[in-house]
Amino acid sequence: MRRNFELKRVSGALTLILSFGLLLTGGDSQAQSRGIFVPYSTAGFGIGTSSYFGDLAPYRRPLASMFKMMRWSIGGNYTRHFTPRLGARASFTYARIAGDDYIMNRDSKHESNVFYARNLHFRNDLKEFSLQGIFKLIPDNRSYDRRPQFGAYVFAGVALTAHNPKALDSLKGDWVKLQPLGTEGQGNEGYAKPYSLVQFAIPLGIGVRYKINNKFDISAEIGFRKTFTDYLDDVHGNYADPALFADNPTALALANRTTNQYAVRKGADRTDALKKFLQVNYFLDTNDPLAALPTTGFGAPGTARGNSPGYTDNYWFGMIHINYMLPSQIKCPPLR
């Protein structure tokens, strides 16, 4: 009797231990099935396009400003995925933006406006380092290899951008740095100080992602950069007194190009279009518009050279990235 009782006690204890073990095992499996997220990292490389909005690419013509002077961009990034929805990215992007009054306004609808007559152009190679937070509209599963086939996300952050606008010197055929020339009189008494070649920006954007396999994704995104400068194109204020450039013929030539016969980048003759400009805006008929234009006061010292008061220059990137899932840990071989 006593032996049977002890056997029942041992059997009951074993049953309790097994039940507790099954409960723990089941709980762990259930927790995994619910998705205990394993953070992971990716490294990416991207190429794409760039464009800008500013004095030579106005906001009131968004499609023309976006596509007529579109240029290239290239970059790399490191991204850490902390939760199924949240990540952070450090990225470097090298890109070119450009603008040209002639290209933007050479059609018959716009060649009579003041921007055609201004005849400025520029290009600017941007070097941007940014830190961005990422919010995934479609969350990840518990590990990178189980991430959804498709994904979408938004991002925002801060950026530091180095820039240096240049223009083509028609006499030498070289691209000349504009900031040291002080094309609007910067650095002279009574004028603004030279603008900085390093600027803060705020990146904002949206992207979509496709899982190629466990290790690689491809993504496409468009990102807007809000800046705090109006000098990405070297154009902001008024025409300076040409006497400031008496000792610098290059600065004199690049500060005011209104009476140039040719659009420098394309080599196109502007004479006929300037005749139309004078007829439409000043009711002046002439066979020599290059000589007549200064008599109107257009391009005179103190008159507007820039055309976006109160607005800053901003830029866009459209990029396609290939992203590689970095190994999160080294797996030990099984013991034998």
270: in domain: yes
pLDDT of 233: 97
pLDDT of 4: 47
pLDDT of 329: 61
Based on the structure, what is the number of domains in the chain?
A: 1
> Residue 190: how many CA atoms within 13 Å on its side-chain side?
7
Task: Look at residues 208, 230, 224 and name the one whose alpha carbon lies nearest to residue 317.
Answer: 224
Q: How far apart are CA 49 and CA 315, in angstroms?
A: 11
CB atoms within 10 A of CB 33: 9
pLDDT of 309: 67
Q: Under 8 Å CB-to-CB from 127, ≥6 apart: which residues?
A: 92, 93, 94, 161, 162, 163
Q: Distances from the Cα of 51 to the Cαs of 6, 46, 57, 232, 247, in angstroms?
A: 85, 16, 9, 12, 35
22: in domain: no
CATH code (residue 61): 2.40.160.20
- At position 168, the amino acid (one-letter code) is L
Task: Look at residues 135, 94, 105, 102 and name the one whose alpha carbon lies nearest to residue 121.
Answer: 102
154: in domain: yes
pLDDT of 311: 85
8: in domain: no
Instruction: Provide the residue-wise pLDDT of the chain in tens; the chain has 336 residues.
Output: 444 444 444 344 434 433 433 333 333 333 334 558 999 999 999 999 999 999 999 998 999 999 999 999 999 999 999 999 999 999 999 999 999 999 999 998 998 999 999 999 999 999 999 999 999 999 999 889 999 999 999 999 999 999 999 999 987 789 999 999 999 999 999 999 999 999 999 999 999 999 999 999 999 999 999 999 999 999 999 999 999 999 999 999 999 999 999 999 999 999 999 999 999 999 999 999 999 999 999 999 999 999 866 789 999 999 999 999 998 764 545 555
89: in domain: yes
Q: How far apart are CA 79 and CA 60, in angstroms?
A: 36
32: in domain: no
27: in domain: no
Task: Look at residues 202, 31, 64, 55 and name the one whose alpha carbon lies nearest to residue 114.
Answer: 55
pLDDT of 307: 80
Q: How far apart are CA 58 and CA 108, in angstroms?
A: 18
The range of the structural domain enclosing residue 153 comes to 37-326
Task: Look at residues 102, 21, 6, 54 and name the one whose alpha carbon lies nearest to residue 315.
Answer: 54
132: in domain: yes
